[in-house]
Structure 1
Amino acid sequence: MKLSSIISKDCTKAAVLFNSKKRVLEYISELAHEQLPDLNPHDILNALMTREKLGSTGIGKGIAIPHGRIEGISHVTAMLLVNKQGVPFDAIDNRPVDIFLALIVPDGDNEQHLKTLAAIAEKLNNKEFCKQLRNAGNDEELYAIIASAD
């Protein structure tokens, strides 16, 4: 899977600075709303928070893949944020998270959702790739890293 097929240039944000899990998820909801203007940002946030209540999407090594299912959309939309510092996120290794690759997925398409999560997790398992993401100085550079990884 090409990450650039689900992440647009305006959904990559480098060197952001948030200090809480809730604020990160709120910002992700705002970005998603810009891409999916027919959706209410509160509904997007609720979908993300509902998933977090089932268990943290922090997969370890400073990485989280927050995701939420939404009715009424036809395709996966993703956002990538790299925070300047780690945020407490209840990750499985209890480490703070600074890389957030968030997904808004159509409700009901479980197979595609699982394939997308697996492909993203595989890319984020590459230490050099994550190092490049963390070192991106601006949004354009961050998107260029995503595009070149495809």
Structure 2
Amino acid sequence: MQLSEILTTSCTSCDVAVTSKKRILERICQLAAIQITDIEQDELLDSLLNREKMGSTGIGNGIAIPHGRLPNTSKAVAVLITTEKAIDFDAIDNRDVDIFVALFVPENSCQEHLDTLQNIAKLFSDKKMIKQVRKCNDNQALYNLIQQAS
């Protein structure tokens, strides 16, 4: 599944002012809760924190792809956030992170989950794309960029 298929404008946010890993994960869950109405925001956060306990989802170059599996849901949801300032996210390259692409998927959709993560990683491996994302200072422009890129 492509990011453009599961990202909505309400789950896209530019230049968010956060200062910690926990705060960005909370903000991600706040936005995701708009789309995932049958699961509490705390449960969304738990799914991300449980995944982070296994190892950071900071993939390098200032990008993180936090993700979690959810029981009792049937659709995948993505959240895209850029931050005002990069924050420490324990990324594999030890660089701070300013682009967050979060993914919530149904618990039993393992292959779809892996395919979507791979597509997101591929999209954000393009240095030109990363530069364009960082230049966006408007939620709609960021959303449109992702729609055009996919």
Same fold (TM > 0.5): yes
RMSD between aligned residues: 0.8
Count of paired positions:
150
**Range with greater deviation from structure 2 (57-66 or 6-15):** 6-15
Runs of 4+ that moved beyond 6 A: none
Deviation per CA, 1:114-147: give whole Å up to 9, x if none. Answer: 0000000000000110111111011011111111
SS in 2 for 1:108: coil
Structure 1: tracts of 5 or more residues without a match: none
User: d(CA) in 1 for partners of 2:19 and 2:32?
Assistant: 20
Q: Which residue of 2 aligns with 1:88?
A: 88
- 1:58-137 counterparts in 2 under 5 A? 58-137=58-137
The code of the aligned residue for 1:28 comes to I
SS at match of 2:52: helix
Partner of 2:54: 54
Percent of pairs identical after alignment? Answer: 46
Q: Give the TM-score taking structure 1 as reference length.
A: 0.97
Corresponding residue SS for 1:82: strand
- Report the Cα distance in structure 2 between the residues aligned to 1:117 and 1:10, rounded to whole angstroms: 21
CA deviations 1:53-82 (Å, max 9, x no partner) are 000000000000000111011121000001
Q: Once the 2 structures are TM-superposed, how far is the Cα of residue 98 of structure 1 from its aligned partner?
A: 0.2
SS of the residue aligned with 1:5?
helix
- TM-score when normalising by structure 2: 0.97
Do 2:17 and 2:84's aligned partners in 1 also have CA atoms closer than 8 Å? yes
Q: CA deviation at 1:113?
A: 0.6
